[in-house]
A and B are shown apart, each in its own frame.
Chain A
Amino acid sequence: MRDHPFVRARWAVLAVAAVVAALILPGLRAIREDNDVLAFLPPDHPDVVAFREVAKRFGVLEVGLVGLGKPDGDLLAPERVDEVRELGREIARKDGVRMVLSFADLPDPRVTDDGLEIAELVPEALRDPAAIREKVLGSTDAVGSMISRDGRAAALMVFLLHHDDRVAAADARAATIREIREALANGWKGESHLGGAPFIEDAAASASRGDLDKLSPIVIAVLVIVSAVLLGSVVAAGINLLLTGLGVGLVLGAHGVLGEALTIVSSSMPVLMVALGGAFGVHMLAGYQRQHGTSRERASATLRELWLPVLLSGLTTAVSFFALTMMPQLPMQRFGVTAGVGVLVLLLLALLVLPAILSVLPDRLLPPRAERPMPLRMRPPMWLLLALAVAGAGVASTLRADADPTEVFSEDSEPMRSNRFFNDHFGGSTYLQVAIEAEQRGDTDRKPLAEPTALREIRDIAEQVRAIEDVVDVRSIVEPHALLNEALGGRRGVPETPGRASRVFALLQGHPAVAQLVTDDTAGALIHIKLAPMSGDEQVVVADRVRALLDRHAAGGFTIAPTTEAKVREVQVREVGQRLSRLLGRPVDADKLLHASPAAAPSPALLAALTEVRDRALDSEDSPVEGVPREEIEAIDPSGLVAARGAELEALLRSKLPTLAAKDPEGIGFVAKHLGPWADDVVARFQVEARCAALDLPLTAPADAAGATCASLKGALSELDDDEWRVSEGAGRGLSFRTRLTGQPVIGAAFAESVTRSLFTSTAVSLVGLALTLLLARQMLALVPALWCLCVTMGIFGLLGMPISVGTSMISCIAVGAGVDFAIHLNFRARNYAGADAGARAVDDIGVVTLISALQLAAAFLVLLASEMAPLRDLGLGLGIALVGAALGACWFTPWLARGGVRKEVRGGDAGAAE
């Protein structure tokens, strides 16, 4: 018989292979890595889109946490504070770090009698341990976020520089994180933990890639030994290793040549390629060993016998990988394409290059080797197989993805240790964020959030979220805003007017304490919500409760209207009443509060307060005038200051202050301009106190008094006097006000939903692709053991409690592909026999070999169980189960499927196999 055409062209094939290798293998040196873990989020999922937008706008992904502890506890001793401060400064000096906040140098604004004092929470000169402890543990800004309540654990907030193109900045970012780790190792003697998005992302990437780098050689070594054992020849194993190595080299080299970066998933390609692609070579080499004659004759005979099953096997495996392109995650799509193409490359090598190599071997280098039949005795009844499939499918329907993305890490990994540290010392480590984005409607240059109405909405959301069970901390821009408003002379709360709100924002701009709370353009704000430690499913429940609170803003905006309008006033009174009810924990009728007014009959205390502002306006450092005779000042009756304003007040002053009117007539105007608002403040304060009395709240209460006090409710009560209020529609200024919920639990849920959906989608596409391929090859029945394998494998996943992950789709597709692969080889073997027992005889011939091959491949993949990452462990275990299941399915179904009667029944399908 003439040589097979491929064998005749052996030198040309080898030459082309050498040229291609020479062109592509140098690309191995140019391989880039892409460690972007976030790329595995479904890009079009609305929650992911929102997350990315919010993260970009607010820099959420740039905030890392460094947890610090000491074996002997206390971190508030002066020398420990120094250590924390210096470590924070050292990290802040690193390239790529924008700013670091620690409790030691946290800006600590304090309202004083005459203004505002801003200093470090612990100035370097403060050396009194008791004073340090009192200051730090008394700071609501620090406790719970930068220092634990007992002072035994600290946290640094590390703000990295934001890069619009995160992928391009990946190397710089990795270098920054490396430098931070070094600074921590050198600058802190004690317990330390790294948490937050940048460090978790880095840990995920480095752990995955590190595991693959570490474990892949072991997996590959096991696979090489497997092939040597199966082939019974070191030479054959060496040729297969050479061929597979060339294939892997070409696939990876092409990554370098084409600039395709290796992602965390595609780093597993060498292992998969060696395992799955190496099987082609094993089949071809085993076939070669069965043949007799010269090397060329044996190579030609091998090709004629095996080209079709090997081709089909390769095509079906490639189709399985191509099905991964149906997954929404871009890295998985790219992996599907590259792995599919890689399999085709290995297929070409097996069908073209390997025969060429074999045909030029010395005739006796790889002597013929007789097959050793190894009958597979155990064969379960068909009803049992079907029952297993049905039961497996049933259990598989219970498979769920885990909504907690941290579950991918092992318990002793850095992120999990960090989580435990922050859970133990800071009450939680998981955050939700409510992003608020506002925009003024109409022609105005007002800053969108510089509206008391908008700030009230933010405050109300925060308060209501705080009341949700398992929410341990809520922070928003409202708290620092309220403090500064008070420092500037307003009330302790949401500023009274848009002008004041705007001024406060202007002064807060660029302040590190608000960097995570509001954007520079004052159009966006974040509410940070810390959750208590809980499972991923419970996090989703809390997230849903928060989301329900945001329904109020579903309309995407509201109108700011004057409270002089009756309908607006009605809304104002009702909503103030509702808030007071929430704060007091009992029903409050705000209408009744409206009647509690001191103005009708000024009390002595009110008159004394009005006297004080009168004197301040006319005879103090804050007075715009000087030299006003005391007797003229005292001639002004303070009761007259309750209502007189503007021109009326100016006229009153002119009549009572003749000396000033003569000496500084313009000064009268300045006094009136300031005295009026100051008197307003006094009246408002007394009005609030009258409302407190109406609510039976004592005017004074101990600082540590439990529950609401008049002092704590003053801001809320004074809002009854605000000039503007939010209404859903009507005349007024329009404000677009959009709220979006994001954060780890939301993204975790989106990811879980996505991987669950993509598992079914990619598996279905894989099955359809395989069906079409097998239909063309008239091997449709090979799909039966593959489907059985899929059902049983997924059922075992369910029984083992394994969650659905990105890797599950890979396992599913590989399980189907392997099931088909094994079945095809057994089916083709069965063609050697006639009669109803053809399939059984094929299984007797190569069933055990198939099973051993699968077991050994499974053993190789089980090496991945040593991984630090749960998905890699699941991948290893899943592939092991899937490969053994595929081999068993093929062995158990082939005797039934390869019966002559069955094949006749499906004539037109794979009837050719019976011939």
Chain B
Amino acid sequence: MKSITVLLASALVLPATVVVAEQAASAAEDAFSKGAAILKVADERAAKFPDQTYTASMEIFKSGNLRQTMVFKMSMKGLEKQFINFTAPGDVAGMKILMEDRDTIYMYSPEFQKVRRVAAHMQNQGFLGSEFTPEDMVLAKLSPTFDAELIGKTGDETKLVLKPKAGQTSSFSKLEIFIDAKVGGVTRIHYFDPSGKHSRTQSREAWQPFEGTQIPTKIRMKNLKTGDETVINLSEIDVKTPVSDDLFSRRTLMRG
């Protein structure tokens, strides 16, 4: 679950990188330094909206058919603390998930009326049948894991290639990030498996004005091998209302 929430967080913060990308591109002397600068600023800007709440509907497509739509409300503080409340469909409604940090996740299910700790160490397994995996959370902060290279600009689109830093482990041999100046943000991410094959594509669509910038309200993750796809639609986005620290406790799970 953390993969989904952090992914959404990254979708909200990455538009800021584009502005920086334009500036950095004009100041830096070579592709790597430009790329590194873009990433660094992106990560610094990641905390621009420390408190966020939104409603998301996650549509899971298998073989081109919509198999399930899940709806959840998410409250987030920083990039670590997250509280998710599933509201639909019936078999997940009422389920709440609390993420205190990357490795501490608690789940409350009304049917069991108990809070249970879930330690999921497998980073490449989709959650609830979706195409989003825990490893996708590296997208929230890229610079600790990846070296960036600015490849170039075609029309409005700037392309960065990210490769894992020495000593860093990743399921991906590289990422390609496409930044569209028209919307001011990352519109596509290509994921490449260890054999160098393009395996997944994340698309950010339905850009809307938000707090002086634009944000995508539809995030699509497509598995190129299976053709399966998960689409997350965001609504009721609120980055102004403070989120209380008290929300992120096991007690809230019990009472929520």
Given contacts A93-B194, A107-B125, A120-B122, contact A506 B91 (CB under 8 A): yes
Beta-carbon contacts under 8 Å, B109-160 to A: 109-122, 125-130
B241 within 8 A of A: no
Q: Please determine whether B116 and A116 come into contact, CB atoms closer than 8 angstroms.
A: yes
A674 within 8 A of B: yes
Q: Please determine whether B120 and A118 come into contact, CB atoms closer than 8 angstroms.
A: yes
Closest 9 CB pairs of A and B: A510-B129, A115-B116, A489-B114, A115-B117, A624-B254, A119-B121, A499-B111, A489-B112, A117-B119
Q: Can you spell out 22 A-B residue pairs with CB atoms less than 8 angstroms apart?
A: A93-B199, A97-B225, A115-B118, A116-B118, A118-B122, A119-B121, A120-B121, A161-B226, A445-B90, A450-B91, A497-B111, A499-B110, A502-B111, A503-B111, A509-B128, A510-B126, A512-B125, A520-B62, A622-B114, A622-B250, A626-B251, A678-B113
**B185-197 vs A, Cβ < 8 Å mask (1 yes, 0 no):** 0000000011101
Q: Please determine whether A510 and B130 come into contact, CB atoms closer than 8 angstroms.
A: yes
Taking each of B110, B126, B225, which has the highest tally of chain A beta carbons within 10 Å of its own beta carbon?
B225
- Give A511 to B118 CA distance when docked, in angstroms: 15
* Chain B minimum-CB-distance residue to A488: B112
B92 within 8 A of A: yes
Given contacts A98-B225, A622-B254, contact A489 B90 (CB under 8 A): no
B255 within 8 A of A: yes
**A664-678 vs B, Cβ < 8 Å mask (1 yes, 0 no):** 000100100110011
B182 within 8 A of A: no
* Chain B minimum-CB-distance residue to A674: B113
Taking each of A114, A506, A511, which has the highest tally of chain B beta carbons within 10 Å of its own beta carbon?
A506
A→B interface (CB under 8 Å): 89-90, 93, 95-98, 105, 107, 112, 114-120, 123, 161-162, 445-447, 450, 487-490, 497, 499-500, 502-503, 505-507, 509-512, 520-521, 621-626, 667, 670, 673-674, 677-678
Q: How far is the CB of B3 from chain A (nearest CB, A)?
A: 13
B242 within 8 A of A: no
B89 within 8 A of A: yes
Q: How far is the CB of A82 from chain B (nearest CB, A)?
A: 14
CB-defined contacts of B106 to chain A, threshold 8 Å: 115
* Chain A minimum-CB-distance residue to B106: A115
Q: How far is the CB of B84 from chain A (nearest CB, A)?
A: 14
- Give A670 to B252 CA distance when docked, in angstroms: 11
B95 within 8 A of A: yes
Q: Please determine whether A488 and B250 come into contact, CB atoms closer than 8 angstroms.
A: no
CB-defined contacts of A117 to chain B, threshold 8 Å: 118-119, 121
CB-defined contacts of B122 to chain A, threshold 8 Å: 105, 107, 118-120
Given contacts A503-B112, A509-B128, A674-B254, contact A116 B119 (CB under 8 A): yes
16 new A-B contacts, CB < 8 A, other than A98-B225, A509-B129, are A93-B193, A96-B225, A105-B122, A115-B107, A116-B117, A117-B121, A446-B90, A487-B116, A489-B114, A505-B91, A506-B92, A520-B129, A622-B115, A625-B251, A626-B251, A678-B114
CB-defined contacts of B195 to chain A, threshold 8 Å: 90, 93
* Chain B minimum-CB-distance residue to A114: B117
CB-defined contacts of A119 to chain B, threshold 8 Å: 119-122
CB-defined contacts of B89 to chain A, threshold 8 Å: 445
Q: How far is the CB of A878 from chain B (nearest CB, A)?
A: 44
Q: How far is the CB of A111 from chain B (nearest CB, A)?
A: 10
- Give A93 to B195 CA distance when docked, in angstroms: 7
* Chain B minimum-CB-distance residue to A107: B122
- Give A116 to B118 CA distance when docked, in angstroms: 5
- Give A497 to B89 CA distance when docked, in angstroms: 18
B→A interface (CB under 8 Å): 62-63, 67-68, 89-92, 95, 106-107, 109-122, 125-130, 193-195, 197, 199, 225-226, 250-251, 254-255
Q: Please determine whether B128 and A488 come into contact, CB atoms closer than 8 angstroms.
A: no
CB-defined contacts of B114 to chain A, threshold 8 Å: 488-489, 622, 674, 678
Q: Please determine whether B117 and A98 come into contact, CB atoms closer than 8 angstroms.
A: no
CB-defined contacts of B128 to chain A, threshold 8 Å: 506-507, 509-510
CB-defined contacts of A500 to chain B, threshold 8 Å: 111-112
CB-defined contacts of A488 to chain B, threshold 8 Å: 107, 109, 112, 114, 116
* Chain B minimum-CB-distance residue to A95: B225
Q: B67: which of A112, A506, A507, A520 is its contact (CB, 8 Å)? A: A520
Q: B255: which of A97, A446, A624 is its contact (CB, 8 Å)? A: A624
- Give A123 to B123 CA distance when docked, in angstroms: 12
CB-defined contacts of B127 to chain A, threshold 8 Å: 510
CB-defined contacts of A450 to chain B, threshold 8 Å: 91
Q: B91: which of A123, A502, A510 is its contact (CB, 8 Å)? A: A502
Q: Please determine whether B67 and A521 come into contact, CB atoms closer than 8 angstroms.
A: yes
* Chain A minimum-CB-distance residue to B60: A510
Q: Please determine whether A118 and B91 come into contact, CB atoms closer than 8 angstroms.
A: no
- Give A487 to B119 CA distance when docked, in angstroms: 11
- Give A146 to B59 CA distance when docked, in angstroms: 34
- Give A512 to B127 CA distance when docked, in angstroms: 11
- Give A167 to B14 CA distance when docked, in angstroms: 45
Q: Please determine whether B250 and A89 come into contact, CB atoms closer than 8 angstroms.
A: no
- Give A500 to B91 CA distance when docked, in angstroms: 9
Q: How far is the CB of B72 from chain A (nearest CB, A)?
A: 13
- Give A119 to B111 CA distance when docked, in angstroms: 25
Q: Please determine whether A489 and B116 come into contact, CB atoms closer than 8 angstroms.
A: yes
Given contacts A89-B194, A107-B125, A622-B250, contact A677 B119 (CB under 8 A): no
- Give A562 to B232 CA distance when docked, in angstroms: 40
Q: Please determine whether B91 and A447 come into contact, CB atoms closer than 8 angstroms.
A: yes
Q: Please determine whether A502 and B90 come into contact, CB atoms closer than 8 angstroms.
A: yes
CB-defined contacts of A487 to chain B, threshold 8 Å: 116
Q: How far is the CB of A572 from chain B (nearest CB, A)?
A: 21
Given contacts A447-B91, A520-B67, contact A490 B112 (CB under 8 A): yes
- Give A446 to B92 CA distance when docked, in angstroms: 12
CB-defined contacts of A105 to chain B, threshold 8 Å: 122
Q: A118: which of B115, B119, B254 is its contact (CB, 8 Å)? A: B119
- Give A190 to B111 CA distance when docked, in angstroms: 50
Q: B254: which of A90, A161, A670 is its contact (CB, 8 Å)? A: A670
Q: Please determine whether A670 and B129 come into contact, CB atoms closer than 8 angstroms.
A: no
Q: Please determine whether B113 and A673 come into contact, CB atoms closer than 8 angstroms.
A: yes
Q: Please determine whether A118 and B121 come into contact, CB atoms closer than 8 angstroms.
A: yes
Taking each of A505, A509, A511, which has the highest tally of chain B beta carbons within 10 Å of its own beta carbon?
A509
CB-defined contacts of B92 to chain A, threshold 8 Å: 503, 506
Q: How far is the CB of A612 from chain B (nearest CB, A)?
A: 14
- Give A156 to B106 CA distance when docked, in angstroms: 33
- Give A89 to B124 CA distance when docked, in angstroms: 12
Q: Please determine whether B119 and A115 come into contact, CB atoms closer than 8 angstroms.
A: yes
Q: How far is the CB of B89 from chain A (nearest CB, A)?
A: 7
- Give A822 to B110 CA distance when docked, in angstroms: 83
CB-defined contacts of B113 to chain A, threshold 8 Å: 489, 673-674, 677-678
CB-defined contacts of A96 to chain B, threshold 8 Å: 225
Q: How far is the CB of A173 from chain B (nearest CB, A)?
A: 14
Q: Please determine whether B91 and A623 come into contact, CB atoms closer than 8 angstroms.
A: no
- Give A499 to B92 CA distance when docked, in angstroms: 10
- Give A520 to B226 CA distance when docked, in angstroms: 15
- Give A502 to B110 CA distance when docked, in angstroms: 12
- Give A445 to B199 CA distance when docked, in angstroms: 35
Q: How far is the CB of B198 from chain A (nearest CB, A)?
A: 11
Given contacts A123-B121, A161-B226, contact A114 B95 (CB under 8 A): no
- Give A89 to B121 CA distance when docked, in angstroms: 17
* Chain A minimum-CB-distance residue to B95: A503
* Chain B minimum-CB-distance residue to A505: B91
- Give A503 to B117 CA distance when docked, in angstroms: 16
- Give A114 to B193 CA distance when docked, in angstroms: 35
* Chain B minimum-CB-distance residue to A487: B116
CB-defined contacts of B112 to chain A, threshold 8 Å: 488-490, 500, 503
- Give A595 to B73 CA distance when docked, in angstroms: 48
* Chain A minimum-CB-distance residue to B129: A510
Q: How far is the CB of A482 from chain B (nearest CB, A)?
A: 14
* Chain B minimum-CB-distance residue to A620: B250
- Give A271 to B106 CA distance when docked, in angstroms: 70
- Give A670 to B113 CA distance when docked, in angstroms: 10
- Give A488 to B114 CA distance when docked, in angstroms: 7
Q: Please determine whether A161 and B225 come into contact, CB atoms closer than 8 angstroms.
A: yes
Q: Please determine whether B90 and A112 come into contact, CB atoms closer than 8 angstroms.
A: no
